Amino acid sequence: MKLLIFLCVACAAVMAVMISQAVRQEFILKRLKSSTEEKTMQISRYENTVSEMKKTMLGVRPQMMSMITETQNLKTKKETLQKEKTAWEENINTCNKEKGEAEKTKGEVTENLNKLTVQHNEAKGSAQKTIEELKQQILDRDKTMCASVDTTIAEARKLCGLGDTLPGIFSPRPRDFSLPNSSWGPKMMELYDHYNSMCDLETEDIHNQKGPWIRLPSYNRSLKYATGGVYLSKMIQSKARLFTRNIYQAGAAFEYVIFVNKEEKKCVCLLQAGHLLEGPPGHVHGGAIATMIDTVTGTHATFLAGLVVTANLNINYRSAIPLGSTVLLESTFDKMEGRKVSVICKVTSSDGSKLHTEATALFVAINVSHLMGM
């Protein structure tokens, strides 16, 4: 009986231990289950967070790609700017080098120019001194000659310029044929007053005049235009006369005056043709017209390029010019190529309404030694 009771107690103890173990295991399982559920929820939250982050990253990715592209573009632009900067620095260095060379050349040119200026002034002073001496010699000779001539003879009085309206070849005061005289008609005077009013100062020294237009004095020799030429012309071919100024009778042949406008590169001539220029009955000879065209265009070319000679003169006659009428010759600059100067000339009635003649002229610049055959 005791054994049975012991066994029962032992069984009960074993059952109690087993029940206790089972309860403990159940508790542990519950804890594990709870922990697992908690972990599962945490993992789910993490997964949600990761999913949201993925979405955010997907949304940010285009911006990042754009930023990467922009960064690359900026990098490329930086490299380009760096290359341009290098090129500009090289250009600046080259310019500075050229500037230095130019300044050096400028200094040399300035020095040479100063030397040439000094030499020119010395030569000019010497030439002026020589001219003054020649002038005085000519005046002394003229006085001696005129003191011994018979002043009752008209030719002698003409040579010495005594009592004549036209100074003679020994007169120290040359006559300016471009000034008005009693033979000039109303149209000639009207045009003369028009152009002369645009000349500020009217003197025999054309370099002293100011204003848009310059009236050129006109003597009986071309050489008289030069400095001291009035006296030199008496020594070199003193009997020669400018073709258009070889008649002393006023109004008989070429009555004209020339005006030059350097700024506009234009030249105009007012011409009144006298009775000695007749070609066709009652009209001006074509050769006389050609002479005046050559005179005007040549004067114009001289102002443009210095001393020139005629190389070609092409004339188209449109309508005849009545004797005694006043016409206007207008010369305009065409082109200049090296020593060659081209001008265009037209001859019209005094009011410009009728075209008489058209011409083109070509001149070649030369030096004085060439003209004198030296």
Count CB atoms within 10 A of the CB of residue 223. 18
Q: What is the pLDDT of residue 276?
A: 93
| CA 359 vs CA 134, 285, 301, 333, 337: distances in Å | 41, 16, 14, 12, 19
With respect to residue 200, please indicate whether it lies within any of the assigned structural domains: yes
- What is the Cβ-side half-sphere exposure of residue 174, based on CA atoms within 13 angstroms? 23
With respect to residue 304, please indicate whether it lies within any of the assigned structural domains: yes
Give the integer Cα–Cα distance in Å for 316 and 347.
10
- Whether 294 is catalytic is yes
Give the number of domains in the chain.
1
- The CATH code of the domain that includes 322 is 3.10.129.10
With respect to residue 266, please indicate whether it lies within any of the assigned structural domains: yes
Q: Which of these is catalytic: 140, 142, 176, 294?
A: 294
With respect to residue 95, please indicate whether it lies within any of the assigned structural domains: no
List average pLDDT for each run of 10 residues in the chain, which is 374 residues long.
78 82 83 85 87 84 86 91 91 90 89 89 85 73 57 53 45 72 92 88 50 81 49 52 77 93 92 94 96 94 88 96 96 93 96 96 81 52
With respect to residue 253, please indicate whether it lies within any of the assigned structural domains: yes
- The H or E element containing residue 72 is helix 2-148
Greatest C-alpha distance within the chain: 209
With respect to residue 323, please indicate whether it lies within any of the assigned structural domains: yes
Q: What is the pLDDT of residue 145?
A: 59
Q: What is the pLDDT of residue 65?
A: 86
